[in-house]
Structure 1
Amino acid sequence: MLAPPSPVTVEIIVNGTPRRACVEPRTTLVDFLREHLGLTGTHIGCEHGICGACSVLLEGEPVRACCLFALQVEGLSVTTVEGLAPARGELSRLQNAFCEAHALQCGYCTPGMLIACHDLLARNPRPSEEEIREAIGGNLCRCTGYQQIVDAVKLASGQEAAHG
């Protein structure tokens, strides 16, 4: 019988800070973030890379954290939804717009939506509605019908006033 693989030490730069943990080689990035670092903003959804709830930025590019092993991102930079805020206890313009436009209901998809929308606005500060819908198309939401999320991105980009 084969012995189980030995735990390994992984160091990843998370939200600008080098973070290290001893993990099983099969530990996914999302489990590393949630279980070993206590960063529970990144959600676990389908665990197959379909729903987008586990999205993070890896070296500035959106990825599904459930589809990567922590070992695969050794030494790389990961930004979680917690890292989008300008400072602890503050909201980014996009996060505030999500609140203002009622773009979150149950909140389960919100971290992945914020990552997708943050990436879109970083590449295109004034996206069209079609471009916004394309950017969030890989993230599943069962509550909002997506319109409020589109409205939030427009608000964050300065293209629409807040709803009263």
Structure 2
Amino acid sequence: MTSTPPLVPLALLLLGLLDATFSGFRAYAGRDARIRKHRATARAALRGLALGAVLLLAPALTAAGLLLTASDRSRTYHTLTSGGLGYLLPLTAYATAVLLSLAAYFLLPFRASTLAMVIGLGPLTLLRPLAVAVACLGAFLGGGWPALLVGAIAGAAVLGVEPAVHRRWYRHVL
């Protein structure tokens, strides 16, 4: 194995957990007409985080399985790390755009923040699957088939959080 700290896997985990938290929030958003719903939105975000943490075990276990069964673990670790970096770069660009839109939403006056929501967060939410697909391509280009396998499982995990939270807790109108 290598002695370098696992910065790429840690960054991917943190990004995945952040995405899962937002997915939990999105699963709940628009379901409740109350004005004061801070507890409910926090609960929805925590549900997304918890489910995301469980679902993200799948790519972690896949990567561990690939490492444990590899004849050259150091080479496999390097391959997975390179693929992880290729996966991380497009997602970092996407996350930066989302965070800039969120900052605009929270910091600008009402009309400008509404515009930030409509032209920023709305389309970016719809582009999430495309961002994951580009990340999978980056994983493949960076690390080949093993990295693509782990990346595709991770992509399915993060894209599965919102529908799973919605189905489990918010299917019925409140």
So what's the TM-score if we normalise by structure 2? 0.32
Structure with the higher helix share, 1 or 2? 2
Structure with the higher strand share, 1 or 2? 1
